Structure 1
Amino acid sequence: MSILNADLHCHSTVSDGTLEPEALAARAKANGVELWALTDHDEIGGQHRARAAAQAQGLRYLTGVEISVTFVEVTVHIVGLGFDPDHPVLVEGLRRTRGGRGERAQEMAEQLAKAGIAGAYEGALKYVGNPELISRTHFARFLVETGVCKDTNEVFRRFLTEGKPGYVPHRWAKLGDAVRWIREAGGVAVIAHPARYAHSPTQEYALFTEFKAHGGQAVEVVTGSHSAAEYVKYADMALEFGLAASRGSDFHSPDESHCDLGALPYLEGRLTPVWDLLADRIH
């Protein structure tokens, strides 16, 4: 059924969200979500908590993760859904992916210090639920708290995007590796929010082609960062590439996110919902 209020993309304090998994489950249920997944960045440490919380709320649940990969020098995110969260291949792959974040964070702090902002690493750490997953979002919250910027959007514009003083690139997993980890753990791989990447049309086509060749099976069509026109564009691309469609808010925080859990439009009836591929994995 396409007509389902599924929210299969959001983040908790286990990565860079501000709510605990239990609070997210309660919020999802209160907002009318019927099928939920927690998809923390490169980390599945919150999965057992999220599933237990969802069951306590009477909310159907799919395991989830959002894996960072590098594709044609651009960071792309691949969501995994419906996998075994204890599968050793996935657990080890994610551990290696997280490994570079601490080093990158130290370099970001050094660059910000040169721009006159001292103590950024220690400041960012205050916002980190999991020090292995320190990210640009945590630095952004520190820069807002200290009054350097008025909100996190301004921080990213001024400091944390390519060419700005606090930006440090990170080499992530390869696309094929991330899809393989998800598949070997019994899950379905999904291209997250494709409109967000700085790809030319040719590069985007190459991403979809390579993703499909590696065994990827779905794409986020309706997501918090897509416009109405982009819903239509990526619905068409899902059909062109024979991919199922996913739906998720990418919710991080009540104060920062543009889209709340469960607030998106429904998938179009012409699409195959990703949850149809995962019916036996829903808890």
Structure 2
Amino acid sequence: MQVERRVSLSKIDLHCHSHFSDGRLSIEELIDRAHNMQVDVLAITDHDTVAGIQSAMNYQSGQKRAMTLIPGVEISTGWHNFDIHILGLNLDYRDARLIERLELQGQSRDERARKIAEKLEKAGVAGCYERAREIAGVGQITRAHFARVLLEKGVVDSLEKAFKKYLGKGERAHVKPQWIDIPTAIKWIHDAGGKAVLAHPGHYDLSAKWLRRLIVEFKQSGGDGIEVIHSHLSPQRKQQMVDYATEYQLEASAGSDFHFPNRWTELGKNLSLPEQVVPIWHNWIFKPLSKRESA
């Protein structure tokens, strides 16, 4: 029997990716790493899919160390020609309507991927779709997979250059995505019983005026929270996110946006929220999963 409890936990990470989207680790490897980093609560938030969550639940239920898994997803949206990501947290990942809706996003991803491959072929790089699909494996195909293909083929010498020369906005192989809008993503999340959080607002290439406009429209559309703490934020930028959360009465979330082991991001690292914000999880009931807890 699982034990339900409200507790104060030391390490909460509500944003990471597995190989079901553009992460490098399998579900099992991701959970093992979270244990090694002493994470207490983990949300797996793959891009436009919840396909890996049941496997994560099953795997964690056999572990000795307890950890709460929060079902999540990161939904891609379009807003004034910007790609904006909305996290859906603590939702019903088995909801048939949600799964059907996310499958539409997956179809859009695949259509975009084929167009990217066509542009790369015109630029003299053939066979990219097939290899990107192979790298993606069970996961959603993303631009990150094409970047890895370009690196493999020696077309570029870094993943960053793959985006700067080919895949980034305005470059030779860029294809404008056809994502849903922000209000639609929020509705999908709410319909599945989850909370909608504006992901990594400090990373968008927006002026202060446009970022504020984004946050206002997100709030007006029914958004619940903002990711106050995420990777690569300066102390000044973190304070700005805290100020936005306070000003617009949005709950605060924290996530590493972990994709693979590297020196810049790590599961559960430096994600403590300041006291003046309301955590997105403030009224959640945590259900620790482990072999011990479920025995």
Class of the TM-score when normalised by the shorter of the 2 chains: over 0.9
Equivalent position of 1:108 in the other structure: 116
2:9/2:40 contact within 8 Å kept:
no
The one of 243, 249, 272 aligned to 1:242 = 249
Of 7-16 and 259-268, the range deviating more from structure 2: 259-268
The one of 69, 80, 89 aligned to 1:81 = 89
1:6/1:36 contact within 8 Å kept:
yes
Q: Secondary structure at the match of 2:135?
A: coil
Shift of 1:239: 0.6
Equivalent position of 1:9 in the other structure: 15
User: What TM-score do the two structures reach when normalised by structure 2?
Assistant: 0.89
Q: Secondary structure at the match of 2:282?
A: helix
The one of 199, 223, 226 aligned to 2:206 = 199
Code of the residue aligned with 1:184 in structure 2: it is D
Equivalent position of 2:30 in the other structure: 24
How many residues end up aligned between the 2 structures?
281
TM alignment of 1:138-177, pairs within 5 A: 138-177=145-184
Aligned counterparts of 2:288 and 2:222: Cα–Cα separation in 1: 21
User: What TM-score do the two structures reach when normalised by structure 1?
Assistant: 0.93
Equivalent position of 2:100 in the other structure: 92
The alignment status of 1:65 with 2:73, answered yes or no, reads yes
Q: Secondary structure at the match of 1:166?
A: coil
2:67/2:288 contact within 8 Å kept:
no
Q: Secondary structure at the match of 1:75?
A: strand
Shift of 1:89: 2.8
Change (3 A) 1:76 1:281: farther
Q: Secondary structure at the match of 2:281?
A: helix
Whose RCO is larger (CA < 8 A, sep 6+)?
2
Question: Could you report, residue by residue, the CA deviation over 1:155-206 in whole angstroms, capped at 9, with x for unpaired residues?
Answer: 1111110111111110101101111111111111100000222223333222
Shift of 1:59: 0.8
Aligned counterparts of 1:182 and 1:111: Cα–Cα separation in 2: 34
Larger radius of gyration: 2
CA RMSD after TM alignment: 1.8
Aligned counterparts of 2:120 and 2:60: Cα–Cα separation in 1: 40
Of 172-181 and 93-102, the range deviating more from structure 2: 93-102
2:27/2:55 contact within 8 Å kept:
yes
Change (3 A) 1:269 1:212: same
Gaps of 5+ in 1: none
Aligned counterparts of 1:200 and 1:56: Cα–Cα separation in 2: 47
- Identical positions, percent: 38
Gaps of 5+ in 2: 1-6, 290-295
Of 268-277 and 19-28, the range deviating more from structure 2: 268-277
Shift of 1:135: 1.0
Q: Secondary structure at the match of 1:61?
A: strand
Equivalent position of 2:236 in the other structure: 229
Q: Secondary structure at the match of 1:18?
A: coil
